[in-house]
């Protein structure tokens, strides 16, 4: 019985994550996100529903973005470069 439930959860995760994915050029991240959400879903003691999966997607993407440069970072680097060149 447990294997059937796990299989259903895995299939649902693939469906939800794939349908909600908004980065079509990043299929590599899609696969990683599906893996992350699946692991979260299979290890939680709580209810695995649509909201749970979306929250897991947000957590995954937030972790991916932690080292991303912001516009402010780029502006600050440009300003430092200009000041250094002066």
User: What's the CA gap between 28 and 49, in Å, rounded?
Assistant: 24
Domain count, the chain: 1
Tokens representing 62 are 């937030």
Closest Cα to residue 57, out of 83, 34, 86? 34
pLDDT single digits (tens) 60-73? 999 998 888 889 98
pLDDT at 85 over 80: no
- pTM for the complete prediction? 0.80
Query: Domain range spanning residue 81?
Result: 2-85
How confident is residue 32, by pLDDT bands cut at 50, 70 and 90?
Answer: very high
How confident is residue 2, by pLDDT bands cut at 50, 70 and 90?
Answer: confident
Give pLDDT, residue 50: 97
Give pLDDT, residue 47: 94
Say how many C-beta atoms besides its own lie within 10 A of residue 26's C-beta.
13
């Amino acid at each position: 019985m447990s294997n059937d439930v796990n299989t259903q959860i895995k299939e649902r995760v693939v469906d939800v994550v794939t349908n909600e994915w908004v980065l079509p050029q990043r299929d590599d991240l899609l696969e990683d996100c599906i893996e992350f959400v699946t692991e979260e879903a299979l290890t939680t003691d709580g209810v695995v529903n649509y909201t749970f999966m979306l929250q897991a997607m947000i957590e995954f993407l937030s972790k991916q973005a932690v080292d991303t440069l912001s516009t402010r970072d780029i502006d600050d680097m440009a300003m430092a470069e200009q000041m250094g060149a002066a």
